[in-house]
Amino acid sequence: MTANPSPEESEPAARWVELVSPSLAPRAALVLLGIWLNAADAMVTATIMPSVARELGGYAYFGWAVAGYLLGSILAGASSGQLAQRLGLRPALVCAALAYVAGCVMSAAAPSITLFLVGRMLQGVGAGWIVGFCYVAIGVVFPERLWARMFGAGAAVWGVASFLGPLVGGVFASAGIWRWAFWMFAGQGLLFAPAVLALLPARAAADAGDRRPLAWRTLAVLAGAIAAIAAADVTQGAVWPALCLALGLALLALAGAVNAAPGERLLPREALRPTSTAGAGYAMIFAMSIASAVFGVYGAAILQTVDGLSPLVAGYVVAVEALGWTVTALFVSGQPDRRHGALIFAGALAIAAGVAVLAAFIGTPRVWGVIAGGAIMGGGFGLAWSLTTRRILSALPPEDLAIGAAATPTTQLIGGAVGAAAAGAIANFLGLAHAFTPQRAALTAPWLFAAFIPIAALGVLAAWRLSRATGANA
């Protein structure tokens, strides 16, 4: 029996120029704007948070601004695939944009840290829905041969946001008008909603699917898991953060079990089977997101404390990870299918190597080593990310395509939240979190980063399994 040719062999090679054609350019721009709202919001907020804390008296709740945003994004992203099926892609995106705008307005006008944190969570819900629906849109609006190009362009948007975010946030913070950063994003959200109505088709492939009920039990357990993990980031001492992290991980496992129940499926059937192609892909994304989170959480703070860098310069040193991601993502987006497995595995090795290099140089005067480690790690993500996502989607049955596409960013967010919480728990154990002196930071920073090397190694194992898969149903 002769095997049928794969889509990559039977269709012409994808070209960047197709995304700027009159028929696809407006929709591509819309998807990239949605990704921009999420990416830039996170980068700008990280820069202005010290100003927010000074004005609203929220230093004790500093970490919750990130934790609340991630919690909202995770819950929204986890449900975006089903909502796209129930509401339709276009109405779902409009609702997401309005939720995001409401969160921005609440954060901008907040008279207290409590209302600010509520606004941040609502922003996270809106942004999580937007980026989840945008990933769904890539899978159902664009031809399959253009998926890698679109995912590569999305990675480029994250790279641009990583460089513009610290600059924009620094300008607002320096001028003492941090609230205007949220007003700016609210305005962009208001532009996004009518653009969705004008540019997306009234009905899309995601609209016609199984109308399953929303998995409220799975979402509730997942919310408890993320809340427990986030608590590990802000709880003082050595024991309680570890207990919070353990509870969060146990609840994540419980969420996976509940996900298997009828009517409770947020993830594809194969997602929790790491021996399958899709399961290996999700496992790789999850592990690597955990392993890399420590650089974003503590990298800039250690560079400022130990090496005396300004917040702006330290932010850009950390942003070199995004530069490496962007450069390599653009490179691999046009590579033929026969090279995808090798590139995925090479990317995973680079991520693990980057974490090891960071562990060797963080907390030392050799800032160039930190820059190199961040670039290597980001380059690894760029090599593997879009190809991993495409291989996951190609391995899923048609009825799981919308859910599987939305599960990709959700898995990354969950991994990032787990990694950030784990970094806080380990920092507490090392005595760093509540005594951030130059001497202690220099002494403990290498151990803090080295603790994540084994997690990166697990990601390499998952990537090896994924790289060996051949065909859509491997």
Give the CATH number, domain containing residue 81. Answer: 1.20.1250.20
| Interval 19-47: pLDDT, tens | 767 777 778 888 888 888 888 877 777 66
Q: How many whole angstroms separate alpha carbon 345 and alpha carbon 224?
A: 34
Q: Are residues 287 and 369 in the same domain?
A: yes
Last residue of one domain, picked from the residues 174, 189, 212: 212
Q: Are residues 99 and 194 in the same domain?
A: yes
When pLDDT is cut at 50, 70 and 90, the band that residue 373 belongs to is very high
Lowest pLDDT segment from 184-193, 301-310, 449-458? 301-310
Are residues 165 and 46 in contact, defined by beta-carbon separation less than 8 angstroms? yes
In this predicted structure, the answer to whether residue 329 has a pLDDT above a threshold of 70 is: yes
Q: What percent of the chain has pLDDT over 90?
A: 22
pLDDT of residue 320: 85
In this predicted structure, the answer to whether residue 214 has a pLDDT above a threshold of 70 is: no
pTM, two decimals, is 0.75
Please indicate, yes or no, if residue 3 is contained in any of the structural domains: no
460 or 229: which leads in pLDDT: 460
pLDDT of residue 201: 67
**Start-to-end CA span in the chain (Å):** 18
Please indicate, yes or no, if residue 292 is contained in any of the structural domains: yes
In this predicted structure, the answer to whether residue 4 has a pLDDT above a threshold of 70 is: no
Please indicate, yes or no, if residue 333 is contained in any of the structural domains: yes
Give the chain's mean pLDDT. Answer: 80
Q: Are residues 318 and 456 in the same domain?
A: yes
Domain extent at residue 88: 24-212
In this predicted structure, the answer to whether residue 208 has a pLDDT above a threshold of 50 is: no
Residue 396: Cβ-neighbour burial (10 angstroms; 0-12, 13-18, 19+)? buried
| Interval 243-294: pLDDT, tens | 887 898 899 888 878 877 766 666 777 777 778 888 899 999 999 999 998 8
Please indicate, yes or no, if residue 239 is contained in any of the structural domains: no
Q: Are residues 157 and 64 in the same domain?
A: yes
Find all residues with CB under 8 Å of 462, minimum gap 6, and list them.
274, 280, 281, 283, 284, 287, 348
In this predicted structure, the answer to whether residue 207 has a pLDDT above a threshold of 50 is: no
Which whole number is the average pLDDT over 415-420?
78
197 or 204: which leads in pLDDT: 197
Q: Are residues 204 and 296 in the same domain?
A: no
